[in-house]
Structure 1
Amino acid sequence: MMFQTHNKSWNSPMLKSLSFKPFFHSLNPITTVPISTPKSISSLSTLSLNHNSSTTSQQTQFTVSYLITNFGFSSETASKASKLVQFDTSRKPDSVIAVFRNYGFSDSQIKNIIRQAPDILKCDPYKRVLPKFEFLTSKGASNIDIVEIVTRSPRILGSSLENSIIPTFESVRMFLPSNEKVIERILHCKHFFGHFHFIRNVKMLLDDGVIHSNITFLLLRRPSILLTYDMRNALDLVKEMGFDDPTNVNFCQALLAKRAMSKSRWDAKVVVFKKWGWSDEMVLEAFRKRPLCMLASTEKINKVMRFWVNELGWDSSALVKRPEVFSYSLENRIVPRACVVSYLISKGLIEKNIELSTPFGVNENVFLEKYVQCFKEESDDLLKLYLEKMGV
């Protein structure tokens, strides 16, 4: 009964007659009155903006004019540079140029540096430039070395001496016998400074078990490998290819070979090997034996295979066991020795089923002793043939 009574109350005529309107609909609209800025404040702001704009414009004009006059920049190049650096007097840029000239930089070298790092013109050279030059000098670099280092990579000028240049130099020094050798490597690879890849990558190699001598090998052979941004992926890839002993020099040689070329170049070389009868497995076997064989160009691989297979009539598979042959000079080593071996086979002095690639892996004295001098009756003819093919 209670529920029935309650329901009836909601249906009463009085409630039905009520008109419910939202509260905010019954309010009068609010009129917003704009707040006026006092004329004095508005005028000051306008004057300030105009002054700043005028100052910036003057600096831009001065900078563009300076770059054109002092470095021979085109108007377009100078305008682009002025977006990175601006100055309204020649005091700082003149002092920067003076420091460069005192160290022997030519006008063209200074121009090249400014083109790549125009912001150097607004620095205090005695705080930003000179200390770096003095550090390199203290480590044995000559003025000529400094000019070469900076010209090849102006990035060093923007690197922190304490946080980048010194730590990187000292890290390289750990693996080389002298400061002079470090300078030599820096000259060889222009991107040593300006990032922290080297220190990070060396730590990664050491943590993975790579020994100092193998890191030294990379520094001496191709230091840019140690500056790669994805060293972790490179290490994992080498391990997947069967190089599981980081203390072995082959491990770092494989790392070098894989990082020294793009995937497309690698694949192109595999295609060439397969054209001459190798399988994917044979390519991998050869790579595991002598990783640096993959540094041979496709042209070199074709030349060696063409001579080996077409001219000598030998099986290309023999080279799987001695893939370092692809690293040897065709004219000065492969052809002369192959002609001697071919002569010996034709005379029945050695078996045709010998390891054909063996004579190519020994040094010259051993080769002459085993394949020329030991055949007393034929030694004169063999030596003549060998020297003739050597072009002597």
Structure 2
Amino acid sequence: MSHLILTTFRTMLKKWFLSNNAVVCFITTKSTTPKFNNPLLHQFPISPRRFCTITATSESNTHPFSVSYLINNFGFSHESALKAFNNKQVRFNTPDNADSVITFFQNHGFPNSNIRIIIQKAPWLLSSQPHKRLLPKFQFFLSNGASLSDIVPLLTTNPRILRSSLEKQIIPLFQLLSRCLKTNRDAIICLIKHWTTFTIYYHLIVANINLMADFGIPHSVIARLIRSRPFLICSKDLINSLEEIKGLGFDPSTTTFGYALLANNCTSKKLWDEKVDVLKKWGWSDEDVIRAFRCHPDMMLTSIEKINLVMSFWVNQLGWDSLALTKRPHILTHSLEKWIVPRGLVVQFLLMKGLRKKNASLVTPFRYSEKLFLEKFVFSFKEESDYLLKIYEEKIKLAYTMENNGMPFPN
């Protein structure tokens, strides 16, 4: 009787599975899952037993070895791991070579967290031969002054350089940069940091560096532009920008020329005109704008919102003439909360108490370091120094508090 019941149950169960077009399977690592003997395994452990359902039309519920390796060891999603496999970035059937890549990075000072980021960005590295493809590049970087502490964060951010040819790409670009930058170390750091830009626009960069040198721009200025704004060196109409800045009265042989070139290229014509219109609304003329720009080109990198905030505080709250800022336009580039407001309130108090001459320069107090400012405009007035210091420190403290809390500064 019991045998008949069991047979009947099996028949019903079989019909149910067939009607649902599905099977149930238990997969154990012993029979189907390869063993991963690598240092990161403890961070991304493989489950010893999995439960899955697959349709009868599916060919297999198992992944290629390299796909499972990415999923289990580096947190890849199923889709991203398959994409790396289908794009032929990773295709290997044993963990040996991939483990040797991980070991290579660990031996060169890369924490496991950095290695995970690198592999997520460049999974193809797991298929490379570390001593043939990676070691020569590391030796080149280190032999030219870069340290592991330099290389680790740079390559974590941009591992793409490790895919390039040392002889055909890396060394020629290094030689180009080393002619402009002060040290080989600077060249290596710049090379890795901006590798993608340099490789895409290599020929244009070579031409523009030669153009700037012929235009009379010092190597120190060219170097600063390469390090801080490599996109400028990739400009297809750089000659027009050079001529425009020279036409505004800037001398190409000065460092100010480089700042003006940068400010001009970082600001579209539309945005430039909008900033000029804002300054004119606060009483400046076109000539005032040009004169201020010649004095401190970085002023035109100030946002429209900040220009309005500074002008509102200067004119409406302090009651001062906006034209005073044309003499020291660098004030617009300072922090409103930590620099302009605390100093402005101190100077305003001194003027109200008659402790500072009314015809004295309004902008001079804003050019000193904090130490000199406190000595000249706070501590030199012994009777009022405690109150002046309180005004100053309260605004500084408020600025940092509002910044830490992500709140706007109340003027």
| Letter of the structure 2 residue corresponding to residue 252 of structure 1 | G
Q: 2:222 aligns with which of 215, 221, 245?
A: 215
Q: What's the Cα RMSD here?
A: 3.7
| Letter of the structure 1 residue corresponding to residue 392 of structure 2 | M
Q: What is the match of residue 233 of structure 1?
A: 237
My pick for the range that moved more, 278-287 or 266-275, is 266-275
Q: What is the match of residue 202 of structure 1?
A: 209
How far residue 322 of structure 1 moved from its aligned partner, in angstroms, is: 1.2
My pick for the range that moved more, 189-198 or 65-74, is 189-198
CA contact (8 A) 2:161 2:195 kept: no
Structural mapping, 1:34-53, within 5 Å: none
Q: Counterpart of 1:73 in 2: which secondary structure?
A: coil
Q: What is the match of residue 300 of structure 1?
A: 306
Q: TM-score, normalised by structure 2?
A: 0.66
Q: What is the match of residue 24 of structure 1?
A: none
How far residue 153 of structure 1 moved from its aligned partner, in angstroms, is: 0.6
Q: What is the match of residue 101 of structure 2?
A: 96
Q: Counterpart of 1:380 in 2: which secondary structure?
A: coil
Tell whether 2:87 aligns with 1:81.
Answer: no
CA distance, structure 1, for counterparts of residue 387 and residue 238 of structure 2: 46
CA contact (8 A) 1:84 1:118 kept: no
The count of corresponding residues between Structure 1 and Structure 2 is: 327
Q: What is the match of residue 403 of structure 2?
A: none
CA distance, structure 1, for counterparts of residue 118 and residue 273 of structure 2: 38
How far residue 139 of structure 1 moved from its aligned partner, in angstroms, is: 2.5
For residues 340 and 198 of structure 1, do their structure 2 counterparts lie closer, same or farther at Cα, with a shift above 3 Å needed?
same
| Letter of the structure 2 residue corresponding to residue 287 of structure 1 | F
For residues 194 and 94 of structure 1, do their structure 2 counterparts lie closer, same or farther at Cα, with a shift above 3 Å needed?
farther
Seq. identity, %? 45
Q: 1:248 aligns with which of 239, 243, 254?
A: 254
Q: Counterpart of 2:174 in 1: which secondary structure?
A: helix
Q: What is the match of residue 37 of structure 1?
A: none
How far residue 182 of structure 1 moved from its aligned partner, in angstroms, is: 4.5
Q: 2:168 aligns with which of 163, 170, 184?
A: 163
| Letter of the structure 1 residue corresponding to residue 93 of structure 2 | T
CA contact (8 A) 1:270 1:283 kept: yes
Q: TM-score, normalised by structure 1?
A: 0.68
For residues 193 and 231 of structure 1, do their structure 2 counterparts lie closer, same or farther at Cα, with a shift above 3 Å needed?
closer
Tell whether 2:70 aligns with 1:67.
Answer: yes
Which of the two has higher C-alpha Rg?
Answer: 1
Unmatched segments (≥5 aa) in structure 2 = 1-59, 395-411
CA contact (8 A) 1:156 1:193 kept: no
| Letter of the structure 2 residue corresponding to residue 213 of structure 1 | S
Q: 1:389 aligns with which of 388, 391, 394?
A: 391
CA contact (8 A) 2:314 2:322 kept: yes
CA distance, structure 2, for counterparts of residue 95 and residue 106 of structure 1: 15
| Letter of the structure 2 residue corresponding to residue 218 of structure 1 | L
How far residue 245 of structure 1 moved from its aligned partner, in angstroms, is: 1.8
How far residue 289 of structure 1 moved from its aligned partner, in angstroms, is: 1.6
Tell whether 2:279 aligns with 1:277.
Answer: no
| Letter of the structure 2 residue corresponding to residue 75 of structure 1 | H
CA distance, structure 1, for counterparts of residue 264 and residue 114 of structure 2: 35
How far residue 156 of structure 1 moved from its aligned partner, in angstroms, is: 0.8
Q: What is the match of residue 357 of structure 1?
A: 363
My pick for the range that moved more, 161-170 or 301-310, is 161-170
Structural mapping, 1:335-350, within 5 Å: 335-346=341-352
How far residue 354 of structure 1 moved from its aligned partner, in angstroms, is: 4.8
CA distance, structure 2, for counterparts of residue 169 and residue 385 of structure 1: 57
Tell whether 2:312 aligns with 1:310.
Answer: no
CA contact (8 A) 1:168 1:199 kept: no
How far residue 155 of structure 1 moved from its aligned partner, in angstroms, is: 1.6
For residues 184 and 172 of structure 1, do their structure 2 counterparts lie closer, same or farther at Cα, with a shift above 3 Å needed?
same
Structural mapping, 1:371-382, within 5 Å: 379-381=381-383
My pick for the range that moved more, 227-236 or 156-165, is 227-236
| Letter of the structure 1 residue corresponding to residue 390 of structure 2 | E
How far residue 364 of structure 1 moved from its aligned partner, in angstroms, is: 6.0
For residues 185 and 343 of structure 1, do their structure 2 counterparts lie closer, same or farther at Cα, with a shift above 3 Å needed?
same
